[in-house]
Each structure stands twice: as structure tokens, then as C-alpha cells.
Structure 1
Amino acid sequence: MSIRVVVAEDQRAVRAGLVLILGSAGDVEVVGEAADGEEAVRLARELRPDLVLMDVQMPLLDGVEATRRVVAEGLADVLVLTTFDLDEYVFGALRAGAAGFLLKDADAAELIAAVRTVARGEGLIAPAVTRRLIAEFAAPKTVRAPVRPEAAAAVESLTRREREVLGALGEGLSNAEIAVRLDMAEATVKTHVSRLLGKLELRSRVQAAVMARELGIQ
């Protein structure tokens, strides 16, 4: 089955390029295009895509708030287009529950691979990008909301295996890499990730990774 995607980007030429690239992938179908955040949310509600490719800087409603609404309503996963000189947008999208982050200068192959990765349920895309994001988010200079006490306490309810998986997420590892390290099936890793997200009341693997770093879980 095709991965159904809504592309949200206010620059027409950039949006057309993204649509063209995604359309070249045999397993990806662009079902909608949005020029602003409000339209992105509306299309997500109407079309129920698998994924929204979301730019953070858009008129009417920025990508961070649009991401929050899409995730809160359970409409789709969100893959955010970002640059690292816009930290406030990155961190806002992270708190909003974005499933992944992609640099805007990514090439066609990276874009398609990122969409496929998020569609598989793996929010930690492009390990180098994720590790940099986590490092920036965890740095003392970063202004951010503290880990909720109840969430930190919930870590104590994790099984030993779940804690090991959480620690691996904090290192920016993918499901496949975690499976190799912990000597388990990739499907089992995915199950552990889903369970620990539920216990910690987190929306994405990236949020779990940041929590692991902040709490020193390895």
C-alpha cells in the first residue's frame, strides 16, 4: 500500500519540488498540498493521511501549532522540515509530538527514506540529525520545560528491557540498531518502544530520546 502524504510548505516552488520528489517514489502518494498551517490541519482532518510533511515557518498558523493539532487529534504522524538555526521551532515541534525532523537541504533520496522511516513507526530519522537535535535540546543553554515529575517517576515502572531500549533511544539508535545491540527481534524492539511511550505518556520516540538524555538513562 502507498504511504499517503500531505505536503505543507508555503513556498510554491519548494512545495512543487517536494511533491515531485515524493511522487517519484513508487510507494508514496501525495494526497494533498497545503500553503499554510491552517490548511495543513484541515487537509489532515479531511484526508487522514499517514504522514504530514510540515514546514515550521508558514503563515496563518505556524508548523509547530499545526503539528500540535494534528498529533493531538491523532490525525497523522508529522515529519518536520527544519534548519538548525531555528532551534525554537525545532524544540516547539518536538514538544508538539513531531515524529521526525528533516533538514530542508536534504536530497531526494534522504527525503523519501525519511518518509518511509516515519511511516514504519520509527521517529528517529537520520541519526546524525537526531543526535545533534538531542544534544542541542539537552544542553544547559537551552530554555526548555523541565521533565514532568510524574513522567520521571513513571520511568521507575519500566521493565529492565524497556529501560535498556529507552537508553538506546537516547543515543539516537534506530529499531534495527537497538535490535542488534540488545540481541532481540526488531518487532520486539518496536513493541517495547510502544509500551514505554505509553507508560511515560510521550507522543514520540524523539521525546523519549530527550527524556533519556535528561535523566541520564543509558
Structure 2
Amino acid sequence: MRSKLFALFLALTVPLSLAGCAGDDTAEEPASPDAVEAPADQPTAEAPPAPGEMPEAAESPSDLGDWFTYEPPDGRYEIKFPNEPLEQNQSIPVSETEEIELSLAIYEDTSQGRAYMSGANPIPLPEGASFDVDQGLDGGRDNAAASTNSEVESEESINVEGLPGRAIVMRNPEGVRFKLMMLADSENAVLYQLLVGAQDGNLDFPEAETFFESFNLRQS
């Protein structure tokens, strides 16, 4: 069975792909907490998985060479996970005639109560519109907090491999804390998201830092 932490990760990532990022008057406001559920024809975060769908829990290796190097189907980036992640592919409707393909990789270390996630979300823009970095990052932050009923504890601007972004720490009422790194590729209208969560609220462990630092942009 998927844990509550795994389900929270799914709930958190969907709104990020829908955040308004167009730099013109056609951009939508970030979704409200009441609008973060998946459409009726899409699986919700709480849907039970097929047997054996979740990777086996394993202790995080001490040697980075033992980590699993993940690259998504589109080859945009690579990143190292403590163990092989589960790929979660979803088609997200963004209008009556358009949808985007969202590919996520999630690994959960159930023995430690920790989870790791990466994804690259293409942002559909109206014709003639440009990618508004601040609007996209603000929308991603607000929707992530709303979808997990979390409060933002801290936020700082970052720049990774030439991409502007945010490093955000959030906590939900159950004490689960998340560190979310969002990076905005304005040229290609893509929002990268890297996430680590801890059920005990402790995000200061070396594997988290190793995960974030292993991100490597392959396509821009």
C-alpha cells in the first residue's frame, strides 16, 4: 500500500503543473485549495496501487556510487535517488482541447519515513504569451501549500545551472515537513521540481542534500 507520505507527494505535484505562468492577462490565478483534486477521469492521490507497484524499501546507501541515476523519458535532466524510483505518468487536462504529460519519479524509504521526488512540468502558454518566472514560482508555491494543507516556513531565491528558482520548506498539521526546490526554464516553459519529505519533520539529513545536489540539467 502507498503510504500517506507518498499520497501527499502526488497531491502536491499536480497543482504545480497547473499554476498560471503566462506573462500576460490570460494567465490564471493559482488554483484554490478546493481545486486541487484530480479530474474525475484521473486517479486521485489516495487511490490504492496495484500489488507490487511500490519499490522495496531499502536503507539509503552511504556511497553515492550505489545510488540510482534517474533520467526521465524526455531526457531533460538526471538526478540520483537512494534507490530506484517509481515512475508516475499522468495526463493533466489544462483546457477543453489541451492536456500536458506529467512524468514524476518518486522513491519512498519507508524504514526512515522519507520520500524523494523529481519532475519536469511543461507549462502550456497562450499564443504570444511568455513564461512569467515569478508568477510561475509563486503559483507553484501557493498551490503546493494549499494541496497539502501546509504552511510555508521559509523561502529563498536560488539559481541552479543558470535557472532561477525557489527553495521552500513547508510543514503540514501532522508534522510532516517538505523541502521543495522549483526551477524555472523560461525559454522552454518548463518548471522543474525536486522534493524531499520527512514524516518526523527532520529535513537535515545528508541524503537530502545529496539528492538536491545531484540534479544535472541535460537539455535546455
Question: Under a length normalisation based on structure 2, what TM-score does the superposition of the two structures give?
Answer: 0.25
Q: Which fold has the larger relative contact order, with Cα–Cα distance below 8 Å and residues 6 or more apart in sequence?
A: 2
Structure (1/2) with the larger helix percentage = 1
Question: Under a length normalisation based on structure 1, what TM-score does the superposition of the two structures give?
Answer: 0.25
